[in-house]
Amino acid sequence: MKWTDKTWKTIEPIYQKIIEMPFIKELQNGTLPLEKFQFYMGQDSFYLENFARSLALIGAKAERVDHALDFIRFAEGAIVVEKALHDSYFQEFGLENRGIIEPTTHHYINFLKSCAALDQVEVAMAAVLPCFWIYQEVGDYIYKNQSAVANPYQKWIATYAGEEFRTLVIKAKGICDSVAENCTETQRLKMTEAFKTASRLEFMFWNSAYQLENWKV
């Protein structure tokens, strides 16, 4: 069995919790309060910027040059998405500035950056995979289950349910499977652990937006 298939099974309960989250349900039916979406966008802007930096670092460390090129392109893609947030979504949803990096975003960003800097490159590759894969699954899920009424978040949903994004996810999964094949079982378990932690942090990220979680001091 492929490493990706085996690993997805370990996070199935986390994925189920994600699609039941109020943030996701309300995004799906268009009732998510604007304030919560604004908070999410502001935090996602910080996330994307640092996610891109982590991807670039992984690209630099990749053993195979074709993997290096893929990761450098993923990094570019994340910066392009961040720019789109700033240039159009911030304005469309009335967000003047992105605020500061709040606790969960801080945790997630620093987890990715420390994996990229200090862990074996294959483990870092596994740590960034949920960002791609969970978004695709959630995007597809929302797209299929959305109500017929006009949804203010429709454009955002379409980004992740689209064909272009699907191709990207297939590529990221393929890279993880190919590097996993050349790892020892211990290393593969470390990859799975990193994937699981990042999946939990994806859950936490949406939850923190729904709670408008902040440092308080």
Ligand X SMILES: Cc1ncc(C[n+]2csc(CCO)c2C)c(N)n1
Q: Which residues of the shown chain bind ligand X in the complex (CB under 6 A)?
A: 44, 47-48, 74, 77-78, 81, 131-132, 135, 202, 205
Which residue lies nearest ligand X, judged by its C-beta?
A: 77
* Minimum CB distance to ligand X, residue 47 (Å): 5
Smaller CB separation from ligand X, 136 or 151: 136
Runs of H (alpha helix) within the chain: 3-19, 22-29, 34-61, 65-84, 90-92, 103-118, 121-145, 154-161, 163-181, 185-211
Smaller CB separation from ligand X, 105 or 192: 105
* Minimum CB distance to ligand X, residue 208 (Å): 10
Nearest Cα to Cα of residue 153 among 64, 32, 65? 32
* Minimum CB distance to ligand X, residue 136 (Å): 8
Smaller CB separation from ligand X, 91 or 167: 167
Specify whether the CB–CB gap between 154 and 162 falls below 8 A.
Answer: no
* Minimum CB distance to ligand X, residue 158 (Å): 14
* Minimum CB distance to ligand X, residue 132 (Å): 4
Buried b (16+ CB within 10 A) or exposed e, 184-203: eeebbebbbebbbbbbbbbb
Smaller CB separation from ligand X, 16 or 186: 16
Smaller CB separation from ligand X, 123 or 127: 127
Q: Cα(75)–Cα(168) distance, rounded to whole angstroms?
A: 12
